[in-house]
Amino acid sequence: MKLNVVEILKNLPKTNCKECGEPTCMAFAARLAKKDIELKACPPLFTSEYAAQREALENLLMGAVA
């Protein structure tokens, strides 16, 4: 299954904070869809504030592997 960039973006913080090294969350989503970057590169996702989004993304990524 191919990863959908829009589905990924929906669950990202969308703050464009650049902590992942990408200019925007959209750019991060595009790289994540290509498995070109790991989820852990986005530190805000690993705060309690975004726990639900992180879980949704982990499920999305796992689904893509299976």
Provide the binding-site residues for ligand SF4, judged by CB under 6 A. Answer: 12-13, 15-20, 22, 25, 28, 42, 44
Please say which residue, 33 or 42, places its beta carbon nearer to ligand SF4.
Answer: 42
Distance between alpha carbon 14 and the CA centroid of its chain, in Å? 10
Distance, CA of 3 to CA of 34 (rounded, Å): 8
Please say which residue, 18 or 66, places its beta carbon nearer to ligand SF4.
Answer: 18
Residue 26: burial class (beta carbons within 10 Å; 0-12, 13-18, 19+): middle
Q: Tell the smallest beta-carbon distance from residue 65 to ligand SF4 (Å).
A: 20
Please say which residue, 23 or 63, places its beta carbon nearer to ligand SF4.
Answer: 23
